[in-house]
Amino acid sequence: MYVTPSPPHVTRPGAWWQVFGPGAAALIGLFMLTVIYRFDGLPEIQHALHLSDQGLLLIGLVAYLVGTALTVPAGLLLGARFPTAVTIPALGFLFFGVLLAAFANAGGLLMAGRAFASLGTGAAAATVALILKLRERRGVVLGVTAALAVLACRWGRSSAG
């Protein structure tokens, strides 16, 4: 009696177009990281909210980096397996944080907005997990994403104010 062998388990290769959602979230997050700082003097937000240099550093940078560090592991571990399930909440946190920061009239509200935005940015590390999962065109996608990340940081620094 002949038994038809079962087909071998085929792993689905990652597709380069899956990087768009998490990549957009990561780029917005990188823009948000640097947008409150300026090259040419005192940031307007520091003056408007009457913050010291140390206060702006704590609210603007430290809160953002702590929140990002908390969610990067989730983005890296779950991002390649469940990209949509990670990216949609990441974008939700990111946009809620952007809204809070945009309408902040005090340092505490600005810090809450920056913290929420950083949670979304960290989860958007799914971009890295997805790029590493790619089998073809990995170098091109990585190069384009890195170039856009540099532009997002640079644009954030030049448009602050």
CA–CA distance, 57 with 53 (Å, rounded to integer): 6
Q: In terms of Cα–Cα distance, which of 77, 75, 107 is closest to 94? A: 75
pLDDT at 96: 92
pLDDT-derived band at 161 (thresholds 50, 70, 90) equals: very low
| pTM of the model as a whole | 0.70
14: three-class secondary structure by DSSP = strand
Residue whose tokens read 């309408």:
103
Residue pLDDT, tens place only, 106-118: 888 888 998 898 8
CA–CA distance, 91 with 25 (Å, rounded to integer): 6
Residue pLDDT, tens place only, 141-159: 667 777 777 776 666 555 5
Residue pLDDT, tens place only, 3-47: 777 776 554 555 656 667 777 777 777 777 777 776 666 777 888
134: three-class secondary structure by DSSP = strand
Q: In terms of Cα–Cα distance, which of 159, 47, 49, 161 is closest to 111? A: 49
